[in-house]
Amino acid sequence: MKWMLISEARGDAAVGQPCEIRGWIRTRRDSKGGFSFLEVNDGSCFGSLQVVAPGELENYDSEIKKLSAGCSVVVRGTIKPSPAEGQASELHASELRVLGWADPETYPLQKKRHSFEKLREWAHLRPRTNTFGAIARVRDQVCASIHDFFREESFRYVQTPIITASDCEGAGEMFRVTTLDLDRLAGSGGPVRYELDFFDRPAYLTVSGQLEAETYATAIGRVYTFGPTFRAENSNTSRHLAEFWMVEPEAAFFDLHDNMQLAERFLKRIFDDCLKTSAEDMEFFDQRIEKGKIEQLRGVIDKPFVHMTYSEAVEVLTGSGETFEFPVAWGSDLQAEHERFLTEQHVGGPVILTDYPSSIKPFYMRLSDDERTVAAMDVLVPGVGEIIGGSQREERLEVLQKRMAAQNLSEENYWWYVDLRRFGTVPHAGFGLGLERIIQYITGMTNIRDVIPFPRTPGSAEF
Ligand code: 4AD
Ligand code: MG
What is the C-alpha to C-alpha distance for residues 216 and 267, in angstroms, rounded to an integer? 23
Tens of pLDDT along the chain (463 residues)? 899 999 999 999 999 999 999 999 999 999 999 999 999 999 999 999 999 999 999 999 999 999 999 999 999 999 999 887 777 899 999 999 999 999 999 999 987 789 999 999 999 999 999 999 999 999 999 999 999 999 999 999 999 999 999 887 877 799 999 999 988 888 888 888 899 999 999 999 999 999 999 999 999 999 999 999 999 988 889 999 999 999 999 999 999 999 999 999 999 999 999 999 999 999 999 999 999 999 999 999 999 999 999 999 999 999 999 999 999 999 999 999 999 999 999 999 999 999 999 999 999 999 999 999 999 999 999 999 999 999 999 999 999 999 999 999 999 989 999 999 999 999 999 999 999 999 999 999 999 999 999 999 998 887 8
Residue nearest to atom 27 of ligand 1 (CA): 240
Task: Name the region of 70 (left: φ>0; alpha: ψ -120 to 50; beta: rest).
Answer: left
Q: State how far the Cα of 153 lies from the Cα of 262, in Å rounded to an integer.
A: 9
Centroid of ligand 2 to alpha carbon of 239 (angstroms) = 12
Pocket test for ligand 1, best of 169, 391, 414, 437 (most atoms within 8 A of CB): 437
Query: Which pLDDT score is estimated for 462?
Result: 78
SS3 351: strand
The number of beta carbons lying within 10 Å of the beta carbon of residue 182 is: 10
**What does the angle CA 187 – CA 190 – CA 194 come to, to the nearest 5 degrees?**
105
Condensed to tens digits (0 to 9), the pLDDT of residues 52-69 reads 999 999 999 999 999 999
Count CB neighbours of 214 within 10 A.
23
List 252's β-bridge partners, or say none.
Answer: 428
Which atom of ligand 1 sits closest to the CA of residue 432? 9
CB 67 within 8 A of CB 25: yes
Alpha-carbon span 461 to 455, nearest angstrom = 7
CA distances from 397 to 171, 220, 256, 362, 367 (A): 22, 21, 19, 16, 12
Kindly give the distance from the C-alpha atom of residue 96 to the centroid of ligand 1, in angstroms, as a whole number: 49
DSSP one-letter string for 172-196: ----EE--S-HHHHHHH-S---GGG
Other residues' Cβ atoms within 10 Å of the Cβ of residue 191:
7
User: What distance in angstroms lies between residue 230's CA and the mean position of ligand 1's atoms?
Assistant: 10
> CA of 280: how far to CAs of 287, 294, 435, 444, 450, in Å?
11, 11, 21, 15, 19
Predicted pLDDT at 184: 86
Is there a contact between 336 and 385 (Cβ–Cβ < 8 Å)? Answer: yes
Q: What is the residue-wise DSSP string for 29-43?
A: EE-TTSEEEEEEE-S
* Cα 351 to averaged position of ligand 2 atoms, centre (Å): 14
Contact in structure between 349 and 298 (CB atoms under 8 Å): no
Looking at residue 126, what is its pLDDT?
Answer: 96
Residues in the chain: 463
According to DSSP, the residues that pair with 310 across neighbouring strands are none
What is the pLDDT at residue 188?
A: 84
Distances (CA, A) of 47 to 36, 50, 119: 19, 10, 20
**Strands 18-30, 72-81: pairing kind:** antiparallel
- Rounded CA-CA distance 379/386 in Å is 6
Burial letters 81-118, b for 16+ CB under 10 A, else e: ebeeeeeebbbbbeebebeeebeeeebbbeeeebeeee
Residues with CB under 6 A from ligand 1: 168-169, 208, 210, 231, 233, 240-241, 244, 246, 248, 386-390, 430-432, 434, 436-437
For residues 196 and 180, the answer to whether their CB atoms sit within 8 Å is yes
CA nearest neighbour of 206 among 234, 231, 180, 242: 231
Half-sphere exposure of 71 (CA within 13 A, CB side): 23
Torsion sign across C-alpha atoms 58, 61, 64, 70:
negative
3-state DSSP percent of the chain in helix, strand and coil, to 5: 35, 25, 40
Q: What's the CA-to-centroid distance between 433 and ligand 1, angstroms?
A: 6
Please check whether residue 76 is in contact with residue 19, taking contact to mean a CB–CB distance below 8 angstroms: yes
Atom of ligand 1 nearest to the CA of 378: 17
- E strand spans, 180-242: 203-205, 222-230
Phi, psi of 374 (to 5 degrees): -120, 160
* Residue whose CA lies nearest to ligand 1 atom number 23: 434
- What residues contact residue 370 under an 8 Å CB cut-off, 6+ apart? none
pLDDT digits (tens, 9 = 90+) for 189-246: 888 889 999 999 999 999 999 999 999 999 999 999 999 999 998 888 999 999 999 9
CA-closest candidate to residue 53, choices 71, 28, 21: 28
- DSSP for residue 367: B
pLDDT digits (tens, 9 = 90+) for 121-132: 999 999 999 999
